Amino acid sequence: MSDQPTQDGGLTPVQTLEQGLAEVESSFVQAFEQTTTEPELRAANAQILGPQGQLTSLMKLMRDVPGDRRKEFGQRSNGIKKAVQSAFEDALASMVKAERARELAETPWDVTLPGRGAVAGRLHPITRVRHELLDLFSSLGFEAASGPEIELHENNFAKLGFPDDHPAADMQDSFFIQKPDGDHDPGVILRAHTSTVQVRTMLARKPPLAIVAPGVVYRRDDDATHSPMFNQLEGLVVDENISFGDLKGVLTLFGQRLFGPEVPVRFRPSYFPFVEPGGEVDYGCVFCRPWEGDEARTAGCNICKGTGWLEILGCGMVHPVVFENVGYDPERWKGFAFGLGLDRIAMIKYGIPNIKLMFENDVRFLSGF
């Protein structure tokens, strides 16, 4: 490239670059000083250093500068760029500091604004469901019991009749506590169910008894309907001459009081290590209400997947091995137990699509209840 004037008398790239750099160097300080707000300051900076800024455009001319002068103009351009950046940062810091000083010097509030009334707080949906169920079971003669969330492996599994090789006792399914030296303690665990409260109650008390145990439990589950931490409520009744008929009566009455007197109840056989026989309890879908006879509405229900039933809880007659492990005579004492997720009840009752919404502390979600 030549440093001679062009044939039409225009400026050469070197001349254009020299004039442009000189103009930027002499004007950027004043340009920043003339701004009064942060948006204005940022706009002034963008006019110089932005993608289409003045200095950016000038630096694109470097490819047309003779090789023996590129170093000179490169150093000068970079020096001006650093000066502009430094001046911008200083001006921005001064502006922020001045704005903060102004805020501190002014009256901290506008006394002419209308007052804001106190907003009443709301109970979390899980808390509301827990209170409702405790009131319900209390009216049926149950008393509330509680226990620690950090439990012994023995209470969580062994005393409930879980075999040693049961998958739930594996570290991939349960949370084991870590020792100070970093090793896992196989004897201590975050409880996987509130059945541990049943064990502790039976170890401490003699029958007859009827308890419900609400509380937080921990399992390695994580999807739209499962969380590594969730809330559970389990019940236990122990007395002489207790039968599966007593269990069905209690859980039928529970469902009708919770969802309405017309809701149907279905018991299905299922397996749990600590009960025999065991079962699952389904209640009629309270969204499509199949008992009203609208088959098309039930077929299109996304909640029950067109079945007309909602699986709510597991239950069964307490296994004799459990009674033996806590020192009860299984020949004399009989009992039944059941367990349900409070989070699932809340999701069904309030139409909550994802369990994680209940643990995110989003006021927009919580204010809807």
DSSP string spanning 76-121?
HHHHHHHHHHHHHHHHHHHHHHHHHHHHHHS-SS-TTSPP-PPPPP
Q: How many residues does the chain have?
A: 369
Q: Which of 222-231, 270-279, 293-302 has the lowest mean pLDDT?
A: 222-231
Bin 279: left if φ > 0, else alpha if -120 < ψ < 50, else beta.
Answer: beta
Non-local (6+) Cβ contacts of 199 within 8 A are 155, 159, 160, 322, 325, 326
Q: Which of 3-12, 165-174, 218-227, 351-360 has the lowest mean pLDDT?
A: 3-12
Greatest alpha-carbon span in the chain:
116
Architecture label for domain 126-366:
2-Layer Sandwich (3.30)
Cα(221)–Cα(230) distance, integer angstroms: 10
- Token reading at 321: 């091995």
Whole-Å CA distances, 236 to 25, 198, 336 = 83, 7, 6
Cα(148)–Cα(189) distance, integer angstroms: 11
- Token reading at 224: 């739209």
Half-sphere exposure for 142 (CA within 13 Å, toward CB): 26
Query: What pTM does this model have?
Result: 0.63
- Token reading at 272: 């749990």
Q: What band does 357 get if pLDDT is binned at 50, 70 and 90?
A: confident
CA angle (369 as vertex; 363, 350 as ends), nearest 5: 120
Q: What band does 127 get if pLDDT is binned at 50, 70 and 90?
A: very high
DSSP string spanning 30-69?
HHHHT--SHHHHHHHHHHHHSTT-HHHHHHGGGGGS-HHH
Non-local (6+) Cβ contacts of 179 within 8 A are 185
Q: What is the model's pLDDT at position 167? A: 65
Residue ranges of the domains in the chain? Answer: 13-105, 126-366
Task: Indicate the average pLDDT of the chain.
Answer: 86
- Please state, as a whole number, how many other Cβ atoms lie within 10 Å of the Cβ of residue 290: 20
Q: How far is CA 2 from the centre of its chain?
A: 66
197-220 pLDDT per residue, tens: 999 999 999 999 999 999 999 987
Q: What band does 165 get if pLDDT is binned at 50, 70 and 90?
A: low
